[in-house]
Structure 1
Amino acid sequence: MQGGRMMNILANIALKNLGVDIEDEQQKESWKIENDSQADWALDKIREAKAEFRRFEMVVNDKIAQLQEALAAEKEKMEREVGFFSGKLAEYFETVPHKKTKTQETYALPSGKLIKKYKQPKIERDEEKLIAWLEQNGMTELVKIEKRADWATLKKDTVIDGERVISKTTGEAIPGVVAIPQNPEFTVEV
């Protein structure tokens, strides 16, 4: 919505000052900046458009911050309420007969279920100690070895020829490596 308004403002300025309608594709294609004065005017228009966007962005970000504050307050209220009633239901759950399985206990009610799940223990591993133990006990088949190319070092020994990446050492195109050409990027600094 804001981008459309911004384009309308710029279109009116361009039509008024340069006699070009930037909404008209034919005029947009045929119009050209012909001197430093027009180029400088265009830079001013870019600067103004960016300043207007930054102002609009600041207003939107302030509104977002207000809404996020309101949402956080409501979330905190909901979490307190859910925590209170969940605690009371957990107390009640312990006083009623419920179904038990190996992994959980349940108690069904018309509006939902009360469930107590048994979790598997969380396993933390020290890979170095674990690998050393596996190797000491002859279980090397359980040790994974990951092979990776050292691209950072290899890259220093390459030259690009079109889409091919050539090794300076061997003179061969390196299989599995492709150079994808990129278009140059034109930027305007204001």
Structure 2
Amino acid sequence: MSLQEQAFQSQEMRESFVIDTKEKAVWALRKLAKIRREMEENQSIADKEIERIKLWLEDVNGALQKDAEYFESLLQAYHRMVLEENPKAKTIKLPHGTLKARKQEPDYIRDEEKLLAWTKENQPEAVKVKENVDWSTLKKMIVSTENGVAIDENGQVIEGITVVDRGIKFSVEVAE
């Protein structure tokens, strides 16, 4: 029998298998526990290999990174020298790359409390007021739901909420 025929036969058996007794459920839980252990072992092996490869990459690229930083610093020094002679030489095109110099926006270190107090007093139009629903408080006020409609404790329909019944969630916990 070919692998394809075995796979087809196995699929047919899976489709016809039903758990209808406690014994079959116990067997299925044992099988599931074994499968999960094997998956964890595979993950562990993969994690170790990934870590080994990361260490190798750090090792082989470490010296290369130092060389790259060295040449970048030399190129930056060259570009500074060219900029001193010609302030318009912000871009230098070369056969194997381009050197670019761009003025950056300043960085602002902010003390939010002091800044907010000053802004409220001096530039109130630059203050944002953000309103949002306190969902945990509102959720406690929802008394009942019918046909996807949320109702508060006074019987008023709460607009903006559609209740979706999610049914029963089943999960399987396998004892280790």
TM (normalized to structure 1)?
Answer: 0.74
Partner in structure 1 of residue 11 of structure 2: 23
Partner residue of 2:78 out of 92, 98, 120: 92
User: Which structure 2 residues correspond to residues 16-165 of structure 1 after superposition, within 5 A?
Assistant: 22-24=10-12, 27-96=13-82, 99-101=86-88, 105-137=90-122, 139-162=123-146, 163-165=148-150
- Tell which deviates more after alignment, 47-56 or 71-80: 71-80
The structural deviation recorded for 1:22 is 4.7
Distance 1:157 1:186 in 2: 28
Q: 1:172 aligns with which of 147, 156, 164?
A: 156
Give the 3-state SS of the residue equivalent to 2:98 in structure 1: strand
Q: What is the CA distance between 1:120 and its match in structure 2?
A: 1.4
CA contact (8 A) 1:158 1:166 kept: yes
CA-CA distance at 1:174 after TM superposition: 0.8
Matched residue type, 1:76: G
**CA distance in structure 1 between the partners assigned to 2:144 and 2:109 by the alignment:** 45
Structure number with higher helix proportion: 2
**2:87 partner letter:** K
Identity of aligned residues (%): 29
**What residue number does 1:181 align with?**
165
- 1:86-105 per-residue CA deviation (whole Å, 9 max, x = no partner) reads 1112223344466534xx72
Structure 1 contact 131–143 (Cα < 8 Å) conserved: yes
Higher mean Cα deviation, 72-81 or 54-63? 72-81
Letter of the structure 2 residue corresponding to residue 53 of structure 1: M
Amino acid at match of 1:82: A
Q: Specify the code of the residue in structure 1 equivalent to 2:62.
A: E
For the 8 Å contact 1:99–1:106, the answer to whether it is kept is no
Structure 1 residues 90, 167: CA separation in 2 closer, same or farther (over 3 Å shift)?
same
Amino acid at match of 2:128: K
Give the unaligned 5+ runs of structure 1.
Answer: 1-7, 13-20
Q: Return closer, same or farther for 1:96/1:157 CA change in 2, 3 Å cut-off.
A: closer
The alignment of Structure 1 onto Structure 2 pairs a total of residues equal to: 166
Aligned amino acid, residue 49 of structure 2: K
- Secondary structure of the 1:156 match is helix
Residues 1:179 and 1:22: Cα distance change in structure 2 (over 3 Å): farther
